[in-house]
């Protein structure tokens, strides 16, 4: 079983729509949860970061973590074509620096 599971997509939505990306994880030891965004032929870049359970909002992006259900979400409001990328759900431990990636969800925003 993968430690972080994501639906690989692809997911295609029209510009302006609200996008919901989700993943689940299996390891209760994870304390840090992140969303990285990766454009084609580029390296991942940190988009959102959450410690333990809770919500975090940054502009059009909202990240949610529910540790009781081991469920992680990313919401994108007023989606733009520039949001088209692969979104990687990532988890980390409190005792180590290495991070564990999901397989990523490919998102396409149609103009």
Classify strands 85-93 and 99-101 as parallel, antiparallel or unpaired: antiparallel
Q: Euclidean distance between the first and final Cα of the chain, in Å?
A: 37
Query: Of 12, 26, 94, 110, which lies in the binding site for another protein, with binding defined by CB under 8 A?
Result: 94
- Sign of the CA dihedral running 75, 100, 38, 59: positive
Rounded-to-integer distance, Cα 47 and Cα 39, Å: 12
Smaller CB distance to another protein: residue 88 or 107? Answer: 88
The answer to whether residue 44 forms part of the interface with another protein (CB under 8 A) is yes
Interacting residue with another protein among 65, 72, 92, 109 (CB under 8 A): 92
Which residues here bind another protein, judged by CB under 8 A?
2, 4, 31-32, 34, 36, 41-46, 49, 51, 88, 92-104
């Amino acid at each position: 079983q993968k430690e972080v599971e994501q639906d690989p997509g692809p997911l295609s939505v029209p510009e302006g729509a609200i996008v919901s990306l989700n993943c689940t994880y299996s390891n209760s030891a994870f304390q840090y949860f992140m969303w990285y965004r990766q454009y084609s032929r580029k390296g991942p870049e940190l988009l959102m970061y959450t410690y333990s359970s809770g919500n975090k909002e940054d502009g059009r992006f909202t990240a949610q973590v529910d540790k009781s259900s081991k469920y992680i979400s990313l919401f994108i409001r007023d989606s733009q074509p520039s949001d088209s990328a692969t979104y990687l759900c990532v988890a980390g431990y409190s005792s180590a620096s290495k991070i564990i990636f999901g397989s990523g969800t490919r998102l396409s925003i149609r103009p």
